[in-house]
Amino acid sequence: MKPYSILLVDDEESILRSVKRSLTKAGYNVDTADCGESAIDKLDKSSYELIITDLLMPGLTGMDVLKAAKKINDEVIVIILTAHGPVDSLLNAKKNNVTDYLLKPINPADLQFRVSTCLERYELQRQIKDLQAKLSVAEEKIAQYENKG
């Protein structure tokens, strides 16, 4: 299986460097964007299983990135980063299918755990979807067989 692709979005260069280094060491393919506009441009050109985005950025926010990502792929996993995000912003993020959130400063062990847990969830969702499709095909074949008999 190919390594998972992650898009990391943050307007702080130090966050981009440290998180990318940590995730790359763990074997993930990590692409970065320093603003919401750049992230949405990358979303139009590439596919990602996971997006990690800062909540509050100048210009387009993490919520804007989340909404754009979900329009392109509603199964994408999104983790929000925030140093001091208001509670109502986090609640709004949860309503918009954010999978998880991390508080800054980011603990590398916590980051690794949350990313691996989210990607396990992503993989399980894919497997469930595949099994449901196979079940649907099997049910159609059974119905066709019963109608012949």
CA distances from 101 to 3, 65, 83 (A): 22, 14, 11
Token pair listed for 11: 């307007």
Residue 125's H or E segment, with its range, is: helix 108-148
DSSP string computed for 12-47 = -HHHHHHHHHHHHHTT-EEEEESSHHHHHHHHHH--
Of the two residues 74 and 1, the one the predictor is more confident about is 74
Q: What is the pLDDT of residue 8?
A: 98
Instruction: Give the residue, 36 or 93, on which the prediction is more confident.
Output: 36
In the predicted structure, residue 1 carries a pLDDT above the cut 60:
no
pTM of the entire structure?
0.83
The pLDDT, as a whole number, for residue 86 is 60
Task: Say what the pLDDT of residue 87 is.
Answer: 60
Query: What residues are paired with 68 via a beta bridge?
Result: none
Task: Report residue 102 as tokens.
Answer: 């991390």
Region of 49 (left: φ > 0; alpha: ψ -120 to 50; beta: rest) is alpha
User: Is a pLDDT exceeding 70 seen at residue 125?
Assistant: yes
Q: Specify the pLDDT at position 7.
A: 98
Q: What is the average per-residue pLDDT within 14-43?
A: 96
pLDDT at 101 over 60: yes
User: For residue range 46-100, what is the model confidence (pLDDT) as tens digits?
Assistant: 999 999 999 889 999 999 999 999 999 888 999 998 887 666 666 666 666 788 8
Per-residue confidence (pLDDT) for residue 58, from 0 to 100: 93
